Amino acid sequence: MTPLAENPGFAVVAAVIGLGSMGLGMARSLKRAGLDVVGYDITPAAVDRFVAEGGRGAATPAEAAQNADIVVSVVVNGAQTETVLFGPQGAADTMKPGAVFISSATMDPAVARDLAARTEALGLLYLDAPISGGAAKAALGELTIMASGSGRAFDAARPALNAMAGKVYELGDAAGTGAAFKMMNQLLAGVHIAAACEAISFAAKQGLDLDKVYEVITASAGNSWMFENRMPHVLAGDYTPLSSIEIFVKDLGIVQDMARSERYPAPLSAAALQMYLAAAGAGMGRDDDSSLARLYAQLSGTQLPGSAKEPQSR
């Protein structure tokens, strides 16, 4: 890892906290747009990879944020975001007054509001800005960003938003609104994946040609973006994680918490959550979320591509 140093040749310094499949693509997009980018990740090898590509590396969130105008946090949830900001060697300790913290984690809107209030009390800006689009869109700088925050936060974040996103939805002047929009997206995404996996496994149980099922459904009214995007993983028998089962255990769990607090019935997302929990309990938690198809296959004695033949029952 190279030591962190000032680089006055760039007008805007951005720190990216979290260099996983999404964060690395976002850091690359920022760098490609001409920002001076410092990266931090809990895994040193991820930082080393970014440094090898010409970025700068830091050993802690505080070090990464020290001279940054913009700090982009690309971690998993609200708890990790709180640690990035306020934990030992947290970014809030070193961010300069008026710098903006862009939070891209998926979290309960109430948590986003609390983090924003604590951040802003320190003279910093906070933009609630969850993301959608996957690793491919992150790498291209074409993410969808669902953002809410003050006008000052948007203004300060604009160089990063322009570099990372194909679409930026400005959804209000208070943190929490962006988080709520993202949870509606995750409700639909989780249910659609579960439905797609149920359908493809049921088709296998019927003895149908799954390649032809995919061709027909993607040209028909029953298609969804998730069916079209995820079912090729099932057809290939490849469950290498692009988005894991555990992501939807977390996100649909948040949906259920939100619904319960509002006394709002959400039975479809509740049923989908139970399937993700079952898949995680069966050892698939870190596998691709299309692994729900494997769970359906196991429960019904159905053979999917790439799986050992199991007894068929009717």
The residues carrying an active-site annotation are 182
**Alpha-carbon gap, residue 52 to 2, rounded angstroms:** 9
- Tokens found for residue 264: 């709002």
- Tokens found for residue 144: 């969808």
DSSP state of 40: E
Best CA proximity match to 313, nearest among 300, 297, 304: 300
Rounded to 5 degrees, what are φ and ψ at 150?
-70, 160
In the numeric block, the tokens 């319960």 are attached to 260
**Alpha-carbon gap, residue 309 to 314, rounded angstroms:** 16
- Tokens found for residue 298: 């196991």
* E strand map for 134-266: 143-147, 165-170
DSSP state of 42: S
Q: Are 146 and 162 in contact (CB under 8 A)?
A: no
Written as one letter, the residue type at 270 is A
**Alpha-carbon gap, residue 298 to 283, rounded angstroms:** 13
Q: Any bridge partners for residue 39, and if so which?
A: 16, 57
User: What angle (nearest 5°) sits at the alpha carbon of residue 19, between those of residues 150 and 69?
Assistant: 35
Q: Are strands 56-57 and 70-73 parallel, antiparallel or unpaired?
A: unpaired
Compute CA 84 distance to the chain's CA centroid, rounded to the nearest angstrom: 16
